[in-house]
Amino acid sequence: MITRYILVALLILLPAQAMAKKSIVEMTDAELKYLMKVRSTELESLRKEQARRGGAVRRKTASTSEAPNERSQDAKIATDPYGNPERGLNSSLAQSNASKIQDLYIRSDPLDAFRYLFPLSPLDGKGASISFTSNELTRTQTLATNAFISYVVAREYIGKDFGYALAPFAYFNGTLTNPERPSSERNAAQIGADIQIKFGDILPDFVQTLGLRPYYQTDFRGQASIYGFSTTYEPTKASINLGARAITPGEENIITGYFRIIPEFNYFTVDDPGRTAFIPNRNHSYLGGTLQIRTILFENMGPSWLASRFYLNGSVTYFWDALNHWRHFHDSEVEGGYIIAKDKPIEGLGRLTTSVSLIYNNGVSRLTNERRDQYKAQLNILY
């Protein structure tokens, strides 16, 4: 119940805050900082050149076919140099700045990495985590991890409204004990291909991202054999804080953030459940989705240890299993944390963020079919 109240409150606050803004620059923090640092000189020179030519350029008849394209390209760079989920990333500019685009992603789950086509628009707050516990009284060791690691091997932008990216991935979730405890040990290890396609023009003023993810799943001991295919979809409109943040540079906010609505279809076959709670030799067809709320507290307010450091995230996942009597389940999570360090963008690599957080989980894990009702504290690494 606490989880639901928090999510409802944030859903009301965030869109209202976005609509109340008089001046909205629909770019994320990372885009703004990266743009100001890396492209300020080039943008200034473009503005001066455009001012010098003034109306003469518009009146001049092009003597070659290349001239209009050059002017059009200059305008695109000046108005939208790196793009965001609303406007996309310019194709030729992306190629010329390929060394600055992030390819390696270390996140908490696939939804946290649902941004290959907007590489200068990282998500806030969540990241991979790993912990190790050694109990000398019981002489047992426990390894717990939650990490989604992917690397983009192909990324292509076709015009403004279409693009695609391909990334092989590895996904680890659960606990491993020594000595082995089959009754309580629940974990999953996935490998596969993460395909993301960005397109527009279907919903007016929205950008859509479609995710296709074929995978093979085993467990940390290599006993499970599960294979399947997942499809996700996410609409984005920064002006209403859907899928991206609408911000004004330097503006102070006690609370700001965005929400995500992500429908999903997941079909998979369980040959051997291994260290999961699934039943062997059974097919599953999950229909449902995820609602997420992500917020930053005290944005640009106070000293550096306070400003934009605290965050509060919430999510609710709900699925129906169409192949098993429409069995339904949910998985809820509330996370509050503090960002320890935010690195500057690393040339050719990306952005590293570390944080500590307290998390409450309630529901059923889609990876292991395990029921959970737990609190945990963890160190997170997002890249």
pLDDT of the chain along its 383 residues, tens only? 545 544 444 444 444 444 444 333 344 444 444 444 444 544 455 555 555 555 444 444 444 444 444 333 333 322 232 344 444 333 343 444 444 577 889 999 999 888 888 755 544 557 898 887 776 777 777 888 999 999 999 999 887 778 999 999 999 999 888 887 777 789 999 999 999 999 876 777 788 899 999 999 999 999 999 999 999 999 988 888 888 877 666 788 898 889 999 999 999 999 999 999 999 999 999 999 999 999 989 988 889 889 888 999 999 999 999 999 999 999 999 999 998 876 555 444 456 788 899 999 999 999 999 998 989 888 998 88
Q: What is the reported pLDDT for 178?
A: 83
CA dist., res. 128 & res. 258, Å (int): 21
Quote the strand ranges of 152-224, DSSP E: 154-158, 162-178, 187-199, 207-218
**Element (DSSP H or E) covering residue 49:** helix 40-53
Q: How far apart are CA 104 and CA 118, in angstroms?
A: 13
d(CA 201, CA 80): 19
CA 290 to chain centre: 13
What pLDDT is recorded for position 94?
A: 42
Q: Identify the structural domains of the chain with CATH numbers, from first to last.
A: 2-31+93-382 (2.40.230)
> How far is Cα 145 from Cα 88, in angstroms, rounded to an integer?
33
This prediction has a pTM of 0.73
At 197 the pLDDT is 94
One-letter amino acid at 364 equals V
pLDDT of residue 120: 52
**Residue 262 has what pLDDT?**
96
Q: Is residue 211 a contact partner of residue 172, using CB atoms and an 8 Å limit?
A: no
Place of tokens 């907007």: 118
What gap in Å lies between CA 354 and CA 228, rounded to an integer?
Answer: 32
What pLDDT shows up at residue 318?
Answer: 97
The β-bridge partners of 173 are 146, 188
